[in-house]
Amino acid sequence: MATYDQAEVKPFLHVEEKDYGLESPPRVSKIKSYDNIIAVRIVRNDTSRSDAMVHCSYDTLFLRIIYPNGTVIEKDIKLEGVQLFNYCSIRPGKEDDHLRYEMIEKDKILVVYYNSINYMKVEGWGMLIDFDGKVFDRTLIGVIGYKDFRIFRLPRVQISFNVKKEKGFIIGYRPLASNNFEWKQYKIESDGKFTTLSNGLIKLDSSAIFGLNALISTIDEGYSFIYKLNDTLPNSMLRDLIVAEFIGYNKFDTTKIYLYRANLLNRIPQPISCSIEYVGVGHSCSLPIMYNQSDYNLKIGFLSSGAIISLNITQIIFPGNRFKFRTWKLKSLLFGGYILPERIKVGTDSRLYIYVFSVNGTLYNTLGSEQPLQTNPNYALEVLPNNTLLIAQMEYNNTWGFNAIDIPKLTNDNGYYNTNIESTFPEINSTIPSGITNTSINFYIPVTLSGGRLSIFQTIGERKILRQSTSGTQCILDNDDKRVIVNILNSTLSKSGGNYFIKIDSNFVKSRIYGEPLLGVREDTWNFIIEDKRYIYTITSSTTALLRLTVGGTNIIKNSTYDEKKHFVNTLLDELADAVQISRGRLKSIKNQMDPNSNDGRLLININIEETKDPHEKDVNSVIQDINYMMSNNDQTPIGYGQLTNLDFTYGFNPAPNYLEEYGPRSLILVSIAIPLVILYFLARKRERKGQNIVIFKVSFFIFDFVIDTLFIINNANDVKRLYIPRIKFGIIISNNSERKYEK
């Protein structure tokens, strides 16, 4: 049953630091978010370049970063290499320009723009920047457009981020003068550089209809392109098709699935809207249908495999019958259901009707004290992960703002932003001892283990340091497969306490019934604290230990300049100090040397571990033990990530040889033998000065040399395989020399 309780509206206003005058007010263009950080783009009319035909804004990316405490940081960014026409309207009479931006991380922005190749052709580019405008990288995305006088004809670009954002995103578009749809996948590396993955083309004809949100991410870390085909069988009652083309991650081929076939003769000529199903499993698509002058919503639920799991046709009755479907665009909500915004004009004012529908399509609620809600000419809105809807308001003087409306949550949530999770150990925001041996997640439904990972991070200030990352397949199921238990490694939690959080990938587990991956838990949600027990370590003296590089790591060192080698080693030690949870100053690289036991010339790095006078910080022996423990569990520890992957885990972290300890006794024996020889020599010399007293030393040294050489050939020549044949030859030479000396 529909309820029409009025939601609370919370206004947010911001006065700009710089005033550009009455003709250039700060207008909200778009609102984007990443977790709990909001990036608002405002535009200002550039009167020197605008006229009746083209509207242009100042050639600056005005970003306003809003943090959870309400603080607004103004960022005015001059984008390098972005031509002026990007700041002008796409079509005459419209204020939307050619720039597009998306938040990649909490402090990184993907900017899509166009640059002219010649007087009539433009090409699309992508650029990654931070909030200060620093450019990490840029890449050609292959989109081609044309310009005719001052009017640009450009394809509509679609961008969809992978459900696991660190895996990147996909860009798709329909080229001009073509019915086909082209796509290309990208990944952004940890250093901010673009890596181009797979690309492809989906062949379509003129009967294909798709919208600006036809390209979506899928739960299995792939993507899907969904469209309608009209009149595929003109003489049939089932002549229309809804089709999904599934695109695997970094795969070139697509898999075509027919989701639904029916006679949609009375369909509304609006594209289909699809998204991940946040409550339950899989994905859903919605399509407006009219029958006997009534409005209906066709909702299809399907899995990543393309299997249909639900099909609902629900009549939608709008309050007061105030409008029909015109700008149909559904947006799924994290806590169940979806919203339908409808744009209208009331005189010169821009307004929005906002309606909330339950999962089955029933109208649940209306928002705001008065419908339609006032907004600005760009109809800018955004739904935050906590179900808060932001709607831009009309700007005045030098002030912009939006209304924040809390959308009702239609399902229970326990703080994980995942309605499939009932509880966890440890609980959110709990304090626990460092000695716990496992963590667990309780689901409402039975699950099976999958390949996604559960990762434990420690937060130190603004830094997030990985402590453990475990695949779902390494875990244990319990409680009728509703509980997942993850073993915590000894090196994961600090005995000195600290702040931690656990992140879970999508596809960590799957629904046991459907075999469909389930959503995970994002960063900074499942937080907990390890209590500080002030553990006291036994202080041990400094020592030197050896790490061996892999063949790849060795080649990096051999082929690098001095500065590159220094950077490589410093980065390795930075990551090693983080992994073992000690201060960076306690690790120093002394020298590199070739490992004589390595057949492929691998390098050894001598690392000095400084002792600490603080009994609450790890001692030297504990550091060595932890590094070796993490190397033996490199598939789950920080040792298996970043620059540390260049270490040979089979070698371990071994104390450097103590030559005094190893060879001291032998040297003492030699000295004890040499002293009597010296005494004998001087006694003989005193008795007979003209005698051949030096023979005492010659005979002794010959015997010593023969014994040492023979022992080396027998025991050590095989240490280096190349010396095997020389060992035999050298033995023959020694024998011959011995015979000659004996004859003399």
Q: Is 435 left (phi over 0), alpha (psi -120 to 50) or beta?
A: alpha
Length of the chain measured in residues: 744
Could you read off the pLDDT of 328-358 as tens digits, one per residue?
A: 667 788 888 888 787 888 888 888 888 888 8
Alpha-carbon dihedral sign for residues 643, 645, 650, 652:
positive
Tell me what pLDDT residue 37 has. Answer: 93
Q: Give all strands (DSSP E) within 408-542, no chain letters.
A: 421-425, 430-432, 438-443, 447-449, 453-460, 463-471, 476-478, 483-487, 498-504, 509-511, 521-530
Helix (H) or strand (E) holding 14: strand 9-15
CB 56 within 8 A of CB 87: yes
Distance CA 206, CA 60 (A): 39
The torsion of the CA quartet 229, 232, 235, 237, rounded to 10 degrees, works out to: -50
Tell me what pLDDT residue 743 has. Answer: 47
Residue 47 in tokens: 């009167």
- For residue 12, the number of C-alpha atoms closer than 13 Å in the C-beta half-sphere is 20
Q: How far is CA 556 from CA 565, 638, 653, in A?
A: 8, 21, 20
Tell me what pLDDT residue 412 has. Answer: 82
Tell me what pLDDT residue 39 has. Answer: 96
Tell me what pLDDT residue 196 has. Answer: 95
Query: Which DSSP letter does residue 408 get?
Result: P
Tell me what pLDDT residue 444 has. Answer: 95
- Return the CA Rg of the chain: 35
Beta bridge partner(s), residue 658: none
Q: Are strands 331-332 and 283-291 parallel, antiparallel or unpaired?
A: unpaired
b/e 700-727 (16+ beta carbons within 10 angstroms → b):
beeeeeeeeeeeebeeebeeeeeeeeee
Tell me what pLDDT residue 1 has. Answer: 39
Distance CA 628, CA 648 (A): 11
Measuring CA to CA, which residue among 366, 349, 368 is closest to residue 357? Answer: 366
Tell me what pLDDT residue 322 has. Answer: 54
pLDDT profile of the chain (744 residues), mean per 10: 60 95 92 92 91 87 95 96 88 72 91 89 93 94 78 85 91 91 94 94 89 88 90 64 93 91 59 83 82 77 89 71 59 84 83 81 67 89 91 94 90 89 97 94 97 95 93 97 97 90 96 95 94 84 90 92 92 93 90 85 91 88 92 93 91 73 61 69 65 62 65 59 55 52 46
